[in-house]
Amino acid sequence: MSAILPPAERLWWKHPLDRVEGTWIAIALIWCLIMFFMMVGWHIYGKQNLSTETYKTTPEKFSAHAQAMVDQYTVRTETADKTPVVAPPAGSDIYMIARLWSFWPILELEKDKTYRLHLTSMDYNHGFSLQPANINIQVVPGYEHVVTVTPNQSGTYSVVCNEYCGINHHTMVGRIYVK
Amino acid sequence: MSTTTTYRTCPRSGLQFEANAEKLMLANAVAAVVFLLIGGILAVGVTLTRWPAIHWLQADTFYQVLTAHGIDMLIFWIIFFEIAVLYFCSSTLLRCRLATPRLAWLAFALMVIGAVTNNVAVYQGGSSVMMTSYVPMMAAPSFYLGLILFAVGALIGCFIFFGTLVIAKRDKTYTGSVPLVTFGAVTAAIIAVFTIASGAIILIPTFLLSVGVIDKVDPLMYRQMWWAFGHSSQQINVAAHISVWYAVAAIAFGATPMSERVSRGAFLLYILFLQLASAHHLLADPGLSTGWKVVNTSYFMYFAVLASMIHGLTIPGAIEVAQRKKGLTKGLFEWLRKAPWGNPVFSGVFISIIGFGFLGGISGVMMGTEQLNMLIHNTVYVPGHFHATVVVGTTLTFMALTYFLIPVLFRREMIAPGLARWQPYLFGLSMYFFCLVMMGAGTLGVSRRHWDMAFSGHALAYEWPGVAYLMMGLVGIAGIAAIVGGAIYIYVTVGSLLWGKRLDEGAKSAQFTPIPRTAPSAAVQSYGSMGFAAPGTFSLAMVFLVAFVLYYFINWKYLSQLWGLS
């Protein structure tokens, strides 16, 4: 009875299984369940879980929030485009706009303090890829994603767009400072 | 539709080919190889541009070439070949005529027109939207129209497959149940129907959006529905290439499935759970609940992973049992050492099984773990993973199957058998290395679909670590080696078709010869050691498990060092 011929035993579901198969199925099943409960367990005990807090938004509404934050907390500007560097207080709502082809503004955060980071896109899909920490989040237009972040190391972080967003996609990079 | 037809019994394999089915298999396989050739040429552009030291193409050309490479390889090459596999698994394995051959030609024509339309749209330049074409970024209407036509053709192909099963049953060309390989093909076809329906649900509105009939497609809804098409289309591959693995084990070794119940049960798990994996692409998205993500991404408690782990054991296990029956019983691995390593049909499949499991399988579970996905989403780890599944898994398997089909279906003597003997090693092993270094670069965060990792001239440029550049350089070298391997495959296949010596086509008859009833097999337990029929395979499986467990927890350790996120 070959795999390319009909099974000789009509009742193939009664075909005995070898010990090697039974043993492996048992081991594999246990491993599958461990992996499943690991994900669930990390939601209870782990400290890195992606928030699901999401609101519908529009570019106008989101820009207004971001602009208010920039107006209130800008500490300096950087680069030839005079991109504002914003240092909002710990625990506050902070905004980062993704658009063709930049992240705006630059944020300055404090180590071990928690912030509510609001993300959205003004146009296409973008990717929020925080480097070198390597945290990657999808940024979808029309949806405001609120992610609670607690930087655990000081330094200069880059935000690289890692969702293809058109011809200048590779020039889309922003920055977050952690003091 | 009843048609007169003839049945040919191949003198080399004993397989019986119905005339209409044979021509259609040939046409679909040839179309597949043409798209593999186009995709392979495009791969040169992608590889040489992402190799940082060469950085060959301009940005706009690069994104255009990458879009075409993705669609030609992931959709057109593979699905054309899969339609040929479906016809083979129904008409040939069940020795019956193919249902509605004229409709099958219509399906083929639609697929060709669709594929060409889509390709032309991409080459015209206004549709460099990547395979995923996420709205609101828009391509030309003909881009979507091409995909829709292709999908309709493929859907007709699936129904012809189902119709052929009905004919075989009605004409009583076999008794009892369909062969395991056909059972696997049924799995692939069921998944294909789900896939194509999902594609239609999202691509038709997007097409209407592109011509201005409707004014909005929700970007998040698009992502969810598109992935029910985009990821599921790769699940067709999994079911199809695993069926081919079983077929090759049977053809090359006369291996019988260790247990029909286990293997068919595993295919059943695919039908029930594999499709949930579309969620893998949405784990880093806003708007979806944690419960939805966890249940879907894990195929409801990893039942589809369980199925893959079962196939990963039972296929080499069946080969081991067959080899041990032939007296290769020394130690754990004599059966493997003395396997026909010079036969590309076997070596291709074996390299594919190992690479699919160790590289594609393990990395896939990492990416599909809800929290770990944050480390990987949209980095080059992702293409590293799917080159291991789709290229090492599906493409290499289809290449190996082609070597079997050249004398059997194409009726030609293979040209350059020496080259063919080396091809799976060159192609498969360079793809192993390609995937490994790509996943290495992805672990360092390097983005996928990105023209310039140096951010040249940008005030806020991010400087990747030197190792990331090294890894991407190695990706380039390995990629070129794999492309050479692919070129050899095309040369051998197309060359054999054009210049290979014609082989005897065998006896023809106007009537099918039913499949004789096979004698019940002896229980497999009579061979092997430690009470195990396949102890060598079991020890390989344990090596796999240890690698899997270690790598899994290493990634959790890495995750635990990130910023706090909640």
Distances (CA, A) of A138 to A46, A163, B220, B403: 21, 8, 10, 42
Question: What is the reported pLDDT for B526?
Answer: 46
- Interchain proximity B259–A18, CB inside 8 Å: yes
* Domain interval for residue A30: 1-49
Phi, psi of A157 (to 5 degrees): -110, 145
Whether the complex's predicted ipTM surpasses the cut of 0.90: yes
Length of chain A: 179
CA angle B441, B365, B308 (to 5 degrees): 125
Question: What is the reported pLDDT for A18?
Answer: 84
pTM value > 0.80: yes
- Interchain proximity B460–A2, CB inside 8 Å: no
Question: Do A141 and A97 share a domain, yes or no?
Answer: yes
Q: A165: nearest CA in chain B?
A: B137
Average pLDDT of chain B to the nearest whole number: 95
Question: Do A43 and A63 share a domain, yes or no?
Answer: no
- Interchain proximity A39–B371, CB inside 8 Å: yes
Per residue in B130-152, pLDDT tens? 999 999 999 999 999 999 999 99
Q: A131: nearest CA in chain B?
A: B445
Mean pLDDT of B280-306: 95
The model's confidence at residue B3, banded by pLDDT at 50, 70 and 90, is low
Question: Do A72 and A144 share a domain, yes or no?
Answer: yes
Question: Do A37 and A71 share a domain, yes or no?
Answer: no
C-alpha dihedral sign at B51, B52, B57, B63: positive
Question: What is the reported pLDDT for A174?
Answer: 97
Question: What is the reported pLDDT for B153?
Answer: 97
Q: How many domains does chain A have?
A: 2
- Among A5, A38, A170, the residue with its CB nearest the CB of B451 is A170
CATH number, domain of A146, equals 2.60.40.420
Residue A154 at interface with chain B, using a CB cutoff of 8 Å? no
Q: Where are the domains of chain B?
A: 19-36+67-253
- Interchain proximity A175–B525, CB inside 8 Å: no
Residue B529 has pLDDT above 60, yes or no: no
C-alpha dihedral sign at B75, B285, A173, B385: negative
- Interchain proximity A47–B459, CB inside 8 Å: no
Query: Using H for helix, E for strand and C for coil, what is the string for B196-256?
Result: HHHHHHHHHHHHHHHCCCCCCCCHHHHHHHHHHHHHHHHHHHHHHHHHHHHHHHHHHHCCC
Question: What is the reported pLDDT for B519?
Answer: 63
Tokens found for residue B134: 């996420």
Counting one residue from A and one from B, how many pairs have CB atoms under 8 Å apart?
336
The model's confidence at residue B521, banded by pLDDT at 50, 70 and 90, is low
- Interchain proximity A80–B459, CB inside 8 Å: yes
Residue B524 has pLDDT above 90, yes or no: no
* B chain contacts of residue A147, beta-carbon cutoff 8 Å: 565
- Interchain proximity A52–B532, CB inside 8 Å: no
Question: Do A31 and A61 share a domain, yes or no?
Answer: no
Buried b (16+ CB within 10 A) or exposed e, B316-328: bbbbbbbbbbeeb
Residue A18 at interface with chain B, using a CB cutoff of 8 Å? yes
Question: Do A91 and A161 share a domain, yes or no?
Answer: yes
Question: Do A94 and A116 share a domain, yes or no?
Answer: yes
**Which residue type occupies B405?**
L
CA nearest A172: which of A103, A78, A97, A81? Answer: A103
Q: Which CATH class is domain B19-36+67-253?
A: mainly alpha
Percent of chain B with pLDDT strictly greater than 90: 93
- Among B309, B373, B450, the residue with its CB nearest the CB of A169 is B450
- Interchain proximity B449–A166, CB inside 8 Å: no
Question: Do A26 and A64 share a domain, yes or no?
Answer: no
Residue A158 at interface with chain B, using a CB cutoff of 8 Å? yes
Per residue in A118-176, pLDDT tens? 999 999 999 999 999 999 999 999 999 999 999 999 999 999 999 999 999 999 999 99
The model's confidence at residue B517, banded by pLDDT at 50, 70 and 90, is confident
Question: Do A165 and A116 share a domain, yes or no?
Answer: yes
C-alpha dihedral sign at B199, B201, B202, B207: positive
Residue B263: Cβ within 10 Å count: 28
Which contacts of B57-66 are long-range, i.e. CB under 8 A and separated by 24 or more positions? B59/A167, B59/A168, B59/A170, B59/B451, B59/B452, B60/A167, B60/B125, B60/B128, B62/B451, B63/A164, B63/A167, B63/A169, B63/B128, B63/B130, B63/B449, B63/B451, B64/B122, B64/B123, B64/B125, B64/B128, B66/B42, B66/B128, B66/B130, B66/B449
Contact B276, B296 (CB under 8 A): yes
90-109 of A, contacting B, C-beta below 8 A = 106
Residues 6+ apart with CB under 8 A from A58: A142
